[in-house]
Amino acid sequence: MTETVRLGRIAGVRVGANWSVLAIVVLITVGLAAGRFPLVAPGMPVVLYAIAGVVAALVFLLSLLAHEVSHAVVAQRNGLAVEGITLWLFGGVASLRGEPASPGADLRIAGVGPLVSAVLGVVFLGAAAMAGLAGAAQLLVAALGWLGVINFVLAVFNLIPAAPLDGGRVLRAALWRWSGDRQRAAIIAAGAGRVFGFVLIGLGLAQVVFFRGFSGLWLALIGWFLVNAAGAEQQYAAGQQALAGIRVSDVMSADPVTAAPDLPVQQLLDRYVMHHRFSTFPLLGADGRLAGLVTLDRIRQVPSDSRASMRLLDVACPPDEVPAAGVEEPLADLLPRMAGCADGRAVVLDGARQVVGIVSPSDISRAVQGPRYHPA
Ligand SMILES: [Zn+2]
């Protein structure tokens, strides 16, 4: 999900929003201001319903954000890197880099989100009850009550055991613990996600056809999104299964051409790019340690008139953001980390943290398609 507005940081996690989140705000505001509020708290001016609707929609977004931040924080505590949180059409997504190392970590990261939503549900319902007892305005009680209910709905919906919903991850963690096979567990959880997605599409369309209910379209749209997301997860897990048994050393390109960090960009082009087929160049500092990584794609982005003055370090992916792997590490463990600024490349380090190889997308496709791993 692409972020169109950057909102800031919460607990060190980057938070942004996609424009499509506005659809949620509009749907909720209209639904509350024109539907629920006039019913529950009759006799108020329309403008008050509208204001209460907008405020409730925004507080709901904050509740969503709390749910996602909890995923991100627990993921970080369990050793995963968090790229950020984006709010969009279907709620929020926390983008994590890498995968949980154990079923327990998988369970904690997935489970905390619905837990936070359920706690918020209790808090808002409690606040609604107290406001009601204290004789507060009916509109306030109605808004608090709706926020309580919607947070419970969020918790329960997310607990449905169908990936990519949180419940699907809980199912994956349970199957993983039970069978010891993470990939198979992921494939089953994503399969459940596809089935559930199709069920939602069916229910949504039936609602539109038989009851002329516009909200059925919304349900069908969510179902369609789930089918697609679950399909992608299934494919990914199947790909990982195909990589089982392959080690980083089986696929890496050994002894890569390295360059000095302060070499001008133009010199790298003249010296290496013209004469080698390499497209990835680790930069090594004076101590022989990794100082960054440049790729042809990054170099191409440098305007030709700055190539003589700019140093490689200026255009490199910084060393702490370059995915690194050990020689003997399973390739399937490295793959989920190969996002970020290194253009899908990773460096391979030996025990002394010296660069001994690189892994590029073409190395991986060669390994997966090569006859060595799929004998005819
Ligand atoms: Zn969640």
pLDDT tens per residue across span 271-292: 777 777 778 889 998 888 899 9
pLDDT tens per residue across span 297-347: 888 888 888 888 889 898 899 988 889 999 888 888 888 788 777 888 999
Distance 113 CA to ligand 1 centre (A): 5
**If DSSP codes are grouped into helix, strand and coil, which group holds residue 253?**
strand
Please give the average per-residue pLDDT across 339-361, as a whole number: 87
Percentage of the chain modeled with pLDDT above 90: 43
Q: Is the dihedral of CA 36, 38, 41, 42 positive or negative?
A: negative
Distance 333 CA to ligand 1 centre (A): 23
With 0-12 / 13-18 / 19 or more C-beta atoms within 10 angstroms meaning exposed / middle / buried, residue 273 is middle
Which of 172-176, 325-329, 331-335, 372-376 is predicted least confidently? Answer: 372-376
Residue 256: the pLDDT is 87
pLDDT tens per residue across span 181-205: 988 999 999 999 999 999 999 999 9
Distance 168 CA to ligand 1 centre (A): 10
Q: Which residue has the higher pLDDT, 371 or 133?
A: 133
Distance 72 CA to ligand 1 centre (A): 10
pLDDT tens per residue across span 214-236: 778 888 988 999 999 999 888 88
Distance 241 CA to ligand 1 centre (A): 25
Catalytic site includes residue 99: no
Please give the average per-residue pLDDT across 148-164, as a whole number: 94
257 secondary structure, DSSP code: -
Distance 234 CA to ligand 1 centre (A): 19
**If DSSP codes are grouped into helix, strand and coil, which group holds residue 22?**
helix
Confidence band of 118 (pLDDT split at 50, 70, 90)? very high
Characterise 94 by phi-psi region: left (phi > 0), alpha (psi -120 to 50), beta (else).
Answer: beta
Distance 166 CA to ligand 1 centre (A): 5
Distance 99 CA to ligand 1 centre (A): 16
Residue 77: the pLDDT is 93
pLDDT tens per residue across span 38-86: 998 888 889 999 999 999 999 999 999 999 999 999 999 998 888 889 8
Confidence band of 375 (pLDDT split at 50, 70, 90)? very low
pLDDT above 80: residue 209: yes
Residue 106: the pLDDT is 95
44 secondary structure, DSSP code: -
Q: Which amino acid is at 188?
A: I
Q: Reading across the β-sheet that carries 324-326, which strands appear in turn?
A: 253-254, 355-359, 346-349, 324-326
Residue 368: the pLDDT is 66
Q: Cβ of 328: how many Cβ atoms within 10 Å? A: 9
174 and 186 Cβ atoms separated by less than 8 Å = no
Distance 214 CA to ligand 1 centre (A): 26
